[in-house]
Chains A and B, each alone.
Chain A
Amino acid sequence: MANEGKGVKIDVEKMQKKLAEMKAKGLKQNLRDFWYGKPHSAEEGGRRLGEILEDKTQLYTHREWRGVKDTLYYMYMIWGYNYLHMVTDIVKYSNNPVDFLKGTFRYRWMGQTYLPVLHWFDRGLQGMRGEALRASAWHYRAMVSASIQQMCNFFNADTRLHHGKENEAYKHTFLAKETTWGGLFYPWMDEGYRYVPMEMIPYFVTCHVNSHTVHNYIDAAQSIGLPGDPCPMCQAEAGLYVLDDVPDSSPLAITCNEACDGSVGTAILQDWFINKPLFALPMPMQFDDPLVKKYCMKEIEECWKFIEEQTGVPFDWESMRKRLEKQNKLQRDEWEKWEVAAKTDYYPVNGVAQALFRIFSSQYGIQGDFWDEASEKVKKIMYRCVEKKINSFPQTRHRVIAWSCAPLYYSNWCTWAYNCWGLNVIINMDSLMFDMEIRTDSYEHMLEDVATYHMLAPMRRMAVGGMHHIFELWDYKEKFNCDMVAMYDQLQCKGMQGVHGLFEDEFRRRNINAFWMPHALPDSRTVSRAEIRSLINDYMTTVMHEEPLDPSLLDFDDSMTW
């Protein structure tokens, strides 16, 4: 029963229930809850996170009380800090902040998605406490910074925001398909060139922050006759162009065949709609065949020649080398983190923060210090956890490895799964790609490694080149000490669908606890988040015979939420 007066909704019944609960707990326990936050599990009189969210919209009735210390940390060091830095980042990366404002009004993905970015934090960090809250938030911070940098790079150069004028920024920006590794453009960065992955911000990150935006692009692609069955990621990427919603920020474009046939298909439409000099950079499919490397190296060199020809600026080895060294350092950091994640219970980063940071940083490459800064901070927190034996996920019941490509509109399912069921996602498939350092002792070694690196791209490393790669799951499951597999089931990924049955056979043969998570990558209309949760709930109750840690998270309506 809700009383409504002067536009303020007060749920009297809910309040009465809460008061009764508090009364029953006694003063001491209430003070404890206030100071430390409520405990996690229902058995301990837990926090019931589902009850502080509004039905459908999932806006907070009130944000979560995590205890005095963590609530203030969240308010000042995450919420406030990120709002503030969103502004300072714009000032830092933008040639003219007014362009940023103009971009917000011009591009749907910009305004509709990025203004509510703090809710993305809320979803990913729900229920996190202590070190997990701090470490995971630093990963998010770096991603926000990288996103703002890309937006600024877009808008600084966009002819549409500058009355059709091709300014200096325009002449110094490379646009490439989002699956093209950013490192390929390092040699020109000392000369002031910037790389912007064409779809990473308009499509990829969008899906995580506001799942509704991308529907416009998928529908647009289908409105010109594209069938509904190709990979929805590629559809959305094409749809961005159909709706003319990609900034005109570069005199050239580079396309790539990664990750799949759909990406090749998208390039066909992009070429038409971009209608500019376009270089295709195809990577070989059978990447562990030693014969393909030479071919791949030559293709990359041809791409560099294309850039030299278009810009008149030669390849700069020093510019390449110093950025690769930074990137290698980031890779070594990641290995350190994986080591702790695999062998201890003290890894403080949650599943979603781990996965997104890794895929974003390794794909975008080094174009600033934000990755390194975040990584250093996280490592510091991590080693504190190791030293003081702090288990940041004390309610872990199962260590989970997530395999195949994840639902972009529900990347924070890991947070929900831990809060609700104690499923702690330790590692995921996308994180394990790009898993190497690049030698910088000579041009030849660098080129050889760059070729390998690019072939090991996200969504591709395990998907092509032979089905034995996708079954590396068994090895990684052992390596990371996981006892359960979350098997993403991207319904429109032909590569993964094509081995579906073998996974079923092997799960049975190897007696592995595994649940399937059907989804359509960016398109939440095909399989909703509620359906995903329901499938996991069913698995946990009927197969694992377990009780939820937080029953309030079992079933709720989030159909309207970002």
Chain B
Amino acid sequence: MKDLKHLIFFENLLQEANNDLVKQAKAEGKRAIGYTCYFMPEVLLDLPGCFSVRLRAPRCTSPDLATYYMSGRVCHYGRSLMERALEGGFNFLDAQMATETCTVTCRFQEHLQQKKLDSVEDMRIIDNDDFFCTFTDVPFKNSENSYQHFEAQLRAHVLEPLHEHFGVDISDETLCKAIEDHNEVCRLINEIGDYRKLDNPTITGYEFHVIQLVSLVCPKELILPYLRETAEEMKTREPDQKKNFRCKVLLAGSENDDPDFTKLIEGCGALVVCDRYCYGAVESRTPIVLEEGKSPLRVIAEHYLKTSNCPRFMPQDEMRARKKRIADLTKEYHADGVIIASNKFCEYWSYERTIDTFILKRDYGLPVCSIEKEYINSASGQLRTRFQAFVESIEIKHIQEGK
């Protein structure tokens, strides 16, 4: 396939959190608002006057300082973010909209919040006088009580602080406009992503991963023109005559903002056609639909709880439905199997991965490759072996089925 025009530009944007577009937006006087988790609605952080940055710590292979503060026994992602923060890599942030949705990212964000405490000496990790960090309590259920609670939380801990600190307009009209802009990003990403559903997809999982990530880490209005252009380019992009993959897979699991991981899988012959993991597009690029009689904030609160497939959700029906959701996506994207990857030390996904591995195979007949990985994958040799074996097993299954 012909290279995508902006791919190298996109790749460069992912080399550091404070990338060129972030710098440009800051220079224009906008406020950079950091967040880590899907449960923090990015649409609220993209209100006029500010922009969202989903935090990453690319190329952080040795988080030594963070290991002192958080020990070596917590997930590499949380530690890498901490390391990057301690190095000054997040000093551009004006605020961190935190959630206590998993322990380690919570602890990382609490470290950023230290200046509010008198029980520890403030390390002033984010060297920015304007910086503040506030926590939103996120419910574990989809219920009326949860929606009401989440809405109240978002108002108290996101909208009002943005208004108080930076004078951001938080009226319903502005929220509606923000939803519209957000949906435009969703529409473009989905349009690009839908090419993965083709028999011979015209986009690789790696390329899509890069595109999805830039949409999460760059100011939306600055990245939009590039996304539009890429969507246009995709319309005429021709696939390679001969399929250069041996099977298609759905990649599910915990936090994953490393496109090289997707590249590693694809290098073994498995094209990643669907990304059902934190930072993936399945949830985050589902458009928000305004409903009559409901305030835009209420709609946003409901949307983020309803669309999430996080193992954090505890009700019986939701726990069980998550497995079916993966099976349905596999069908929708014509995937031959599922790779479930959880980050080492991720409590939620350790359990979810265990049960997925059994149930998807047993109840849905899906081949499953279950792996534990690091945030930055230094053990790529071992993983490659696992993926190659998985691809071969799918091929054998196909032969046995006479496909």
Q: Chain A residues in contact with chain B, CB under 8 A? A: 224-227, 229-231, 234, 238, 255, 257, 260-262, 264-269, 271-272, 277-280, 282, 284-286, 289, 291-292, 294-295, 298-299, 302, 464-468, 471-472, 474, 491-492, 494-495, 497-502, 504-506, 509
- What is the bound-complex CA distance between A441 and B100, given in angstroms? 34
- The answer to whether the Cβ of B384 comes within 8 Å of any Cβ in the partner chain is no
**Bound-state Cα–Cα, A426 to B73, Å:** 30
Beyond the given A285-B137, A295-B145, please list 5 additional residue pairs across the A-B interface where CB-CB is below 8 A: A225-B358, A227-B342, A269-B355, A280-B316, A494-B347
Q: Does B357 contact A (CB under 8 A)?
A: yes
**A257: which B residues are within 8 A, CB to CB?**
140, 314
Q: Contacts of A472 on B, CB cut-off 8 Å?
A: 119
Interface pair B107/A498, CB less than 8 Å apart: yes
Give the contact stretch, choosing among B146-154, B162-170, B206-214.
B146-154
Chain B positions within 8 Å of A504 at CB level: 68
CA distance A224 to B355 in the complex (A): 9
Shortest 4 CB-CB contacts between residues of A and residues of B: A498-B107, A265-B351, A501-B69, A471-B119
Given A265-B352, A295-B148, A468-B119, answer yes or no on A501-B315 (Cβ-Cβ < 8 Å): no
Q: Could you say which residues of chain B place their CB within 8 Å of the CB of A230? A: 345, 347, 350-351
Bound together, the chains give a CA A134 to CA B187 distance in angstroms of 73
On whether the beta carbons of B152 and A291 are closer than 8 Å, the reply is yes
Q: Is there an interface contact between A261 and B103, defined as CB atoms closer than 8 Å?
A: yes
Q: Using CB atoms, name the residue of chain A closest to B100.
A: A285
**B74 adjacent to chain A (CB < 8 Å):** yes
A269 and B107 within 8 A (CB):
no
Q: What are 20 A-B interface contacts by the 8 Å CB criterion?
A: A227-B344, A234-B347, A262-B351, A264-B312, A264-B351, A265-B347, A279-B316, A280-B141, A284-B149, A285-B100, A286-B136, A291-B153, A464-B100, A467-B107, A474-B119, A492-B73, A494-B75, A494-B104, A500-B69, A509-B121
Residue in A closest to B143 when the chains form the complex, CB atoms: A302
Chain B residues with CB under 8 Å of A286's CB are 100, 135-137
Whole-angstrom CA separation of A472 from B311 in the bound complex: 31
B104 neighbours in A (Cβ, 8 Å): 494, 498
Q: A467-B117, A498-B103 are in contact. Are A280 and B358 (CB under 8 A)?
A: no
- A295-B139, A302-B143 are known contacts. Are A471 and B120 too (CB-CB below 8 A)? yes
What's the least CB distance linking B132 to chain A, in Å? Answer: 14
Closest Cβ neighbor of A260 among chain B residues:
B103
Interface residue B70 (Cβ < 8 Å from any Cβ of A): yes
The residues of B that contact A226 with a CB separation of less than 8 Å are 350-351, 354
Question: Given A265-B311, A268-B311, does the pair A497, B73 have CB atoms closer than 8 Å?
Answer: yes
Complex: chain A residue closest to B107, CB-CB: A498
Closest to B137 in A: A286
CB nearest to A502 among chain B residues: B120
Tell whether B184 is near chain A: CB-to-CB under 8 Å. Answer: no
Which residue on chain B has the smallest CB distance to residue A292? B137
Query: Would you list which residues of chain B between 43 and 65 have a CB under 8 Å from chain A?
Result: none
- Whether the pair A269, B316 counts as a contact (CB closer than 8 A) is no
Judging by beta carbons under 8 Å apart, are A272 and B145 in contact? Answer: no
Q: How far is the CA of A380 from the CA of B315 in the complex (A)?
A: 47
Are A506 and B121 interface neighbours, CB within 8 A? Answer: yes
> How many angstroms between the C-alpha atoms of A506 and B111 in the bound complex?
14
- CA A495 to CA B107, docked complex, whole Å: 7
Closest CB in chain B relative to A55 CB, distance in Å: 33
Contacts of A264 in B (CB 8 A): 140, 311-312, 314, 347-348, 351
Rounded to whole Å, the gap between the CB of A431 and the closest CB of chain B is: 20
Most chain A beta-carbon contacts within 10 A, residue among B69, B316, B351: B351
Beyond A280-B141, A280-B314, whether A498 also contacts B355 by CB under 8 A is no
> CB-CB < 8 A to B119: which residues of A?
468, 471-472, 474, 506
Contact of A302 among B145, B311, B357 (CB under 8 A): B145
Do residues A269 and B140 form an inter-chain contact, with CB atoms below 8 A? no
B370 proximal to A (CB < 8 A): yes
Chain A residues within 8 Å of B315, by CB: 280
Within 8 A of A (CB), among B88-125: 100, 102-104, 106-108, 110-111, 113, 116-117, 119-121
Given A280-B315, A505-B121, the answer on whether A229 and B354 have CB atoms closer than 8 Å is: no
A298: chain B residues at CB < 8 Å are 145
Measured between alpha carbons, how far is A230 from B121 in the docked complex, in Å?
Answer: 30
